[in-house]
Chains A and B, each alone.
Chain A
Amino acid sequence: MSKISAPRSNREFVEACIKSGDAVRIKQEVDWDNEAGAIVRRVCELGQAAPFMENIKDYPGFSYFGAPLSTYRRMAISLGMDPASTLPEIGKEYLKRTNSEPIAPVTIDRKDAPCKENILLGDDVDLCKLPVPLVHDGDGGRYVGTWHAVVTKHPVRGDVNWGMYRQMMWDGRTMSGAVFPFSDLGKALTEYYLPRGEGCPFATAIGLSPLAAMAACAPSPIPEPELVGMLSGEPARLVKCETNDLEVPADAEIILEGVILPDYKVEEGPFGEYTGYRTSPRDFRVTFRVNAITYRNNATMTISNMGTPQDEGQMLRSFSLGLELEKLLRSQGIPITGVYMHPRSTHHMMIVGVKPTYAGVASQIAHLAFGSKLGPWFHMVMVVDDKTDIYNWDEVYHAFCTRCHPANGIHIYKNTVGTPLYPFATPHERKYSIGSKVLFDCLWPVDWDPVNDVPTTVSFKNVYSQEIQDRVAGNWTAYGYPPVK
């Protein structure tokens, strides 16, 4: 693999984004109470440069970096690519790196770990010492973890998991979070810790390198510390925690260490979610007791403000879910041409392009997609043919509206795995994470005569000879039209 020059820390990433014009420094004082969140939200909705807020009310010395990966330009920068790279180019690079050999992380000495520059233990531990923002007005609390990794280790298998489970500050030592039962951490809690009444050690890393955040967000079967190495082309640098045996990214800005309590729960939510709504109800949820805080000098807290499109939750989840499904389908020999989720679907609709060489291929794709580990995160699969550009919503929408048979092309699956965050779900379904799925089969049936049964697409590119197309395109400005880009 050629040398990758991706940002190795959040600080390097901020500098790279400022240099390319993809981040702005905000020097005036910003209030952690709603104002910072509102800035980030507006940036997401306008698709503008990420705000690096250097002067936080009540918290001298701390800063915020908001909307870190809410554009494809910043995703390209995070991978060390040209910011102008196209989405297919970024996706191709992600697939190349994540199909390479795993790169194991290295553990460094704590004296070399920037995240150990300040250490709070015992009575000094107080989350109120950190600039935890109130992200949306009306949220159930200040959210410590909106763009971060919760690090845990399976007690039997030893698998390390970095997951982006949102975390709300309940008081100075307590956080509560949404951990879904089908998630890696959810399964470890329900299968092991809760039945035994044992606390689960955790560490939350905030202000990660963008590729570490990408790994924590991606639904990849590869352990996240190795995935970071594959994405960045060199081993992730980890350091041991102060109060447990977990290892955390040494270059992270802030680390919280503690225990998930098996026998005590506090309320969590509501919270503005990636679907663009506050959907999941306030409830008693997984509760984290914080026993240590370590942080870099002049630490930067990263903020993702989830809501209507488009934020990095939608961007990155769409990106990684689509590419991970593409890997899965190719591994099964399905003749796909590509997989894409438009971020504006808030990662609910998977669009799959396929060469329809046999009957039932759309159903085969849907069963694999919905039955996989990726499945809980989306509820719609749309299968189009290889002539449809899956990145072009106009083409996809046209295919959907004209080729999906209302009676034969829509397949509904009930009582599947779901999430409490589905806005359309009933209160009962939200409470028990019950889902429903739908397949939109937009393929011409293979038992139709391709000459006499399949309609001909009537478009400039499809019905005119190349000679006519070239003549018309060549004379376009002569006809009096402006040039076409």
Chain B
Amino acid sequence: MNQWEVFVMDVAELAEGQDLELTIRTLNPGVQKYTYKRVRAQVSSSLDQFADQLQVRLGRGQLSKARFSIRVIEEIQRCPAKYL
């Protein structure tokens, strides 16, 4: 199970049952903690719907009480290939 975190202005941005494009950061322990990925994912307020967990922070870093489970469908690479 992986732990992820997302920043949103409004928890309503995390619509359930839809494919969402999100920037999420890992909360897994280790030196990569807090590094980001851009992903296509689905979320659910049912914490056992998906294997990974997602916690939410709001616009100024406030930790939301809302919790989700998340399925990362794929990583999206937006950075132009010439820079990779």
Contact = CB atoms under 8 A, between A and B. Distances in A.
A245 interface: no
A139 interface: yes
A129 B35 CA distance: 12
A170 B59 contact: no
Interface size class of A (residues with CB under 8 A): 20 to 34
Contacts of A360: none
A282 interface: yes
A455 to B, nearest CB: 46
A128 interface: yes
B61 to A, nearest CB: 3
Interface string A243-269: 000000000000000010101101100
A281 B59 contact: yes
A311 B26 CA distance: 30
Given A128-B35, A282-B7, A141 B25 contact: yes
B60 A172 contact: no
Given A138-B63, A141-B25, A270-B59, A172 B35 contact: yes
Nearest to A59: B31
A58 B35 contact: no
B83 A264 contact: yes
Contact of A171 (B31, B37, B62, B80): B37
Interface residues on B, range: 20 to 34
B35 A171 contact: yes
Interface string B36-74: 110000000000000000000101111100000000000
A140 interface: yes
Contacts of A263: 80
A264 B77 CA distance: 11
A282 to B, nearest CB: 6
A429 interface: no
A270 B2 CA distance: 23
Given A140-B7, A141-B25, A264-B83, A169 B35 contact: yes
A138 B36 contact: no
Nearest to B7: A282
Contacts of A148: none
A170 B78 CA distance: 13
Interface string A122-151: 000000110000101111111000000000
Contact of A138 (B25, B37, B57, B80): B57
B36 A266 contact: yes
A20 B30 CA distance: 37
Given A140-B7, A174-B79, A266-B36, A278 B31 contact: no
22 contacts: A58-B30, A58-B31, A128-B31, A129-B31, A138-B57, A138-B61, A141-B36, A142-B34, A170-B35, A170-B36, A171-B36, A171-B37, A172-B32, A261-B80, A261-B83, A264-B78, A264-B83, A266-B23, A270-B7, A279-B60, A282-B59, A289-B83
Interface of A: 33, 58-59, 128-129, 134, 136-142, 169-172, 174, 259, 261, 263-264, 266-267, 270, 278-279, 281-282, 289
Given A169-B35, A264-B78, A267-B7, 11 more contacts: A33-B33, A58-B30, A138-B60, A139-B61, A174-B79, A263-B80, A264-B83, A270-B60, A278-B60, A278-B61, A282-B7
Interface of B: 7, 23, 25, 30-37, 57, 59-63, 78-80, 83
